[in-house]
Structure 1
């Protein structure tokens, strides 16, 4: 990947930039997920049902996925440092409008616009971090940035819920608006100019999978494991309560453990993906299959659940880092465009996974949703096993230089 100067001072600034991008991901993910813990007070405050309030999450996810290939292509001439700054301005404004919304319609409009910014960040953020550091450190930079997702899950979302319990939901979103501005300052101070160099017109974006067979395989594999994961994960709380009889406190604790496991998986995979990308993903995907089977086989008690959830979190964290590097290896010259397609597919897979998992849960109980997750993760594993390396025989992402 692209590099900056390898002088010590430049390296310090480069990693400071990676930290600023990580903080950006933290803000984006907490903004996306925070409404999950605030649905009840928001619904009461704006006089809508809890089910309708859930549209805060649904619309955000839809706009984050569907719009991103178009927005990334349309902004292909924009300096990526300036684009990230603009996205953080949108994030700050969206949280501010959410905090002061007089009615639910305005709140939903703010969430919809903020979701578009979220999707564009996913397409460019990791690529930006990988460009900041020497090529051999690119995978480590990606792992650091993706740890922001685990930190948001473990710290950010519970913190938002805690702040709401001490103040109110409007104050919580107002604080997150201010946090977005602080991260914006960090981005402006630490990131160098990053001219766009791999974005392409929108019609070429959607033609990429037709021209690139390796990219098609990667996108299919990612869609399968994300579908399987979210088919099961969406219904993990009712599964825990119905099959293991655990308390809400246990559920919260296990979900936090899952987030910690994701951070561990990111860290471990960060040390292996550069030399052993395909093998690392196969191990991670095997872990996903094994963890879901353990949920079914030993998940009738808290101890068994804990073991399964730890393995699940570690495996999912590792798989998420692998899929970024797999996209880079499949489309090194059009990485941002490929990531925009991946972001769209990832978010659509989340929605479909939850939907299909719900159908299985309705028809066969929550164990049915988990079994469906097993089937899809097995399909992802088989696809990974059946995939072939490129003609060079290497799993390594191609390194590039940038003036």
Structure 2
């Protein structure tokens, strides 16, 4: 079977000669009279309210995932456990995402989108409430596992949902808006949650997240339009989605790229201590988060016109930032400049890669995006382990070297996969 034949069969579309669909990521519901537009608004208006609600959900997901890392001493004291055990709050969440994301998306991809979204948010809410009130570590870790599972479902469907309710000519822009929650969460949500848990009690952090989740589900009920699920004729097994030309390339890029990112991001404190800079971790992370917001704004402005160049530029910026971190580690100005460049490059990464994998997979974008979420969480898990080994055997200056090297690997994979994953 040729590459073009496999791609046509997987998407249920006309031959495209081995290249991604002419209208990347477009979802069409087949009717007797022909395909319908993927926009739920006949006038093609941009669905700002719905997309911002999706961004708010993304904000809650990323904060829930990363916040415990800043509260390990408080969680350990509150549950009478070691900090190492408390650190499994992060690992259990990531494991839940890895285990559940693809099966959950595969089982729900034919269902209408809004009911699946609401069930996912309510399940996520229940898990966070249990975490906030639990006094047993086993129950708490189980709740984190379940929260990660619902997170995997939501991450897997949000990208496709955003594109389904948006006119096709604004699909990339819609992805950028819906992805805004990630950099905002990293810039504001995670530091605020850590401060709240430190100033009062770590359970308050999960309580506030639960309140915000209740607000989100209410807003979603009234402001997010429904959309159809994937048409039965276009559904293919998970393994065959992985075999669609371009999908594996994007997944390889994200694993290498995000592994390099998380090695430094997770252990940024070790790097700063080794460099002996008068720069706190909190200031570094807030600077990174603000720069990431600027990055996603830039991505939203140009993604529909030059995705390939944008991805390569972002990866090139990552490599440059890693080099500056390495050779300029003695200068606060140089390190801050590198953090800003790093943040800008990272800010648009999620939207860029989700757009690329959606373009490559066509109607199977929900499943492909669940694979992207799994790849992302595997990179987080692997970076935690690999980074711990590195700082145990070397000093923190090795981290940006590894970051730059892995970003270079991702760059070359993206260049090599230009015909299927990131066409001109």
TM-score by length of 2: 0.87
Q: How far off is 1:387 after superposition?
A: 2.1
CA distance in 1, matches of 2:53, 2:150: 17
* 4+ aligned runs moved over 3 Å, structure 1: 198-203
Q: 2:58 aligns with which of 13, 25, 33?
A: 25
Q: How far off is 1:31 after superposition?
A: 1.3
Q: Does 1:228 align with 2:260?
A: yes
Aligned residue in 2 for 1:308: 338
Q: How far off is 1:360 after superposition?
A: 2.7
Q: Does 1:179 align with 2:217?
A: no
Contact residue 200 and residue 334 of structure 1 kept, 8 A:
no
Q: 1:195 aligns with which of 228, 235, 250?
A: 228
CA distance in 1, matches of 2:323, 2:404: 7
Contact residue 244 and residue 302 of structure 1 kept, 8 A:
no
Relative to structure 1, the CA distance from residue 233 to residue 170 in structure 2 (aligned partners, 3 Å threshold; closer, same or farther) is: closer
Give a deviation string over 1:91-117, Cα, whole Å, max 9, x none.
211111111102111111111101001
Give a deviation string over 1:162-203, Cα, whole Å, max 9, x none.
332443222321222121111000001011221211689998
CA distance in 2, matches of 1:63, 1:128: 22
Map of 1:1-400 to 2, 5 A cutoff? Answer: 1=26, 2-7=38-43, 11=45, 14-197=47-230, 204-210=237-243, 212-247=244-279, 250-390=280-420, 395=424
Give a deviation string over 1:324-343, Cα, whole Å, max 9, x none.
11101211121001111111
- Which has the higher mean CA deviation after the structures are superposed, 165-174 or 371-380? 165-174
Relative to structure 1, the CA distance from residue 230 to residue 163 in structure 2 (aligned partners, 3 Å threshold; closer, same or farther) is: closer
Contact residue 188 and residue 289 of structure 2 kept, 8 A:
no
Would you tell me which structure has more helix in proportion to its own residues?
1
CA distance in 2, matches of 1:374, 1:200: 43
CA distance in 1, matches of 2:222, 2:321: 42
Give a deviation string over 1:222-251, Cα, whole Å, max 9, x none.
21111111122222211112213325xx32
Unaligned runs of 5+ in 2: 1-25, 27-37
Give a deviation string over 1:341-377, Cα, whole Å, max 9, x none.
1111111112112322332332332222322222111
CA distance in 2, matches of 1:96, 1:206: 35
Number of residue pairs the alignment of both structures matches? 388
Contact residue 244 and residue 301 of structure 1 kept, 8 A:
no
Contact residue 246 and residue 357 of structure 2 kept, 8 A:
no
Unaligned runs of 5+ in 1: 396-403
- Which has the higher mean CA deviation after the structures are superposed, 160-169 or 97-106? 160-169
CA distance in 1, matches of 2:148, 2:248: 26
Q: How far off is 1:320 after superposition?
A: 2.4
Contact residue 159 and residue 366 of structure 2 kept, 8 A:
no
Aligned residue in 2 for 1:400: none
Q: How far off is 1:292 after superposition?
A: 0.6
Q: How far off is 1:282 after superposition?
A: 0.5
- Which has the higher mean CA deviation after the structures are superposed, 72-81 or 293-302? 72-81
TM-score by length of 1: 0.91
Give a deviation string over 1:53-79, Cα, whole Å, max 9, x none.
010011101111232111111122322
Q: How far off is 1:318 after superposition?
A: 2.5
SS at 2:71 equivalent? helix
